[in-house]
Amino acid sequence: MNAKPPIWAGLGAIYLGLSGVILPEVLGFSRSDYNSISNYLSELGAVGTSTHTLATYFGFLPVALACLVILKFLWQTLERTPRVSAALILIGIGIPVGYLGAVFFPCDYGCPVEGSARQAMHNLVGLFAYPLGALGLILLGLSLPHRILKALTLFAGAAMALGFVMMLSPDQANWRGGWQRLGDYSAFIALITLVFTVPKLMLSVDSS
C-alpha cells in the first residue's frame, strides 16, 4: 500500500475544504444581510439571494460529491469491519445526502421553521442527516486504532451532535450558524485529515 492517498482522494479532500469551508465564509462575508454566527450555511443558498447559485452549485453540490469520494477511499482503505462499514454508510447517508438536500430543496429566505413545501423538505432532510452523520463519525472514531485520529473523529461526531441539538434550541437562535459550523467544519476537518493519514497508518499496520 502506498503511504500517500491516490490523486482522486486527495483532490476530493482539497475540494471539500474549498467548497465546504472557504467558499461559505467568502460568500457570507460578501453579504451585508448575513452573519456566519447567526445564519445557517443553507441560507447562503436560499432562493432569491445573491449567493444562491454559487452556494448551491459550487458549495453544497461539490461538498456532497467530495464527501462521497472520500468515503469511497476510506471504504477501500480501512479494514472493513462491521462497525467501520456501518459508520461509513451512516456518514454517507448523513453528510452527502444532507448537502444534496440543500441543492434540491433550497431553503426560503431566513430558513424558517415553517415555510414553503420546499422548506419543509429541506428541514426534514436536516432532521435525519445530522443525527446519522454524527453517529457515523462516532462509530468510525471508535473503530480507528490511532489515538489522535480516534480523538479527532470522535470530537467531530460529538461536535455535530451538539451543534444539531443547539441549532434546535430557540435560546440559541442567535448562535445557530456558529453551532452548525462547529459540527460541519469539524466533520470536514476530520475527513480531510483521514484522507492524508490513513494510508500511512494502514501501511504501518501491514508492515508490523
Q: Is 208 domain-assigned?
A: no
Instruction: State residue 105's pLDDT score.
Output: 94
3-state secondary structure of 70: helix
Decide if pLDDT at 208 tops 50.
no
Whole-model pTM?
0.93
Instruction: State residue 135's pLDDT score.
Output: 98
Instruction: State residue 202's pLDDT score.
Output: 67
Q: Is 2 domain-assigned?
A: no
Q: Is 67 domain-assigned?
A: yes
- Which residues fall within 8 angstroms of residue 122, CB to CB, at 6 or more apart? 42, 101, 102, 105, 106, 107, 111
Q: Is 153 domain-assigned?
A: yes
Decide if pLDDT at 207 tops 60.
no
Q: Is 188 domain-assigned?
A: yes
Instruction: State residue 114's pLDDT score.
Output: 83
Q: Is 179 domain-assigned?
A: yes
Only one residue has cell 468510525, namely 140
Instruction: State residue 113's pLDDT score.
Output: 82
Q: How many domains does the chain have?
A: 1
Q: Is 207 domain-assigned?
A: no
Decide if pLDDT at 2 tops 80.
no
Cα distances (Å, whole numbers) of residue 193 to 67, 93, 178 = 13, 20, 22
Q: CB of 158 within 8 A of CB of 146?
A: no
Q: Is 205 domain-assigned?
A: no
Instruction: State residue 138's pLDDT score.
Output: 98
Spatial distance between the Cα atoms of 108 and 52, rounded to a whole number of angstroms: 11
103-159 confidence digits (pLDDT tens): 999 999 988 888 899 999 999 999 999 999 999 999 999 999 889 999 999 999 999
Decide if pLDDT at 205 tops 60.
no
Range of the domain at 97: 7-200
Instruction: State residue 146's pLDDT score.
Output: 86
47-100 confidence digits (pLDDT tens): 999 999 999 999 999 999 999 999 999 999 998 899 999 999 999 999 999 999
25-49 confidence digits (pLDDT tens): 999 999 999 999 999 999 999 999 9
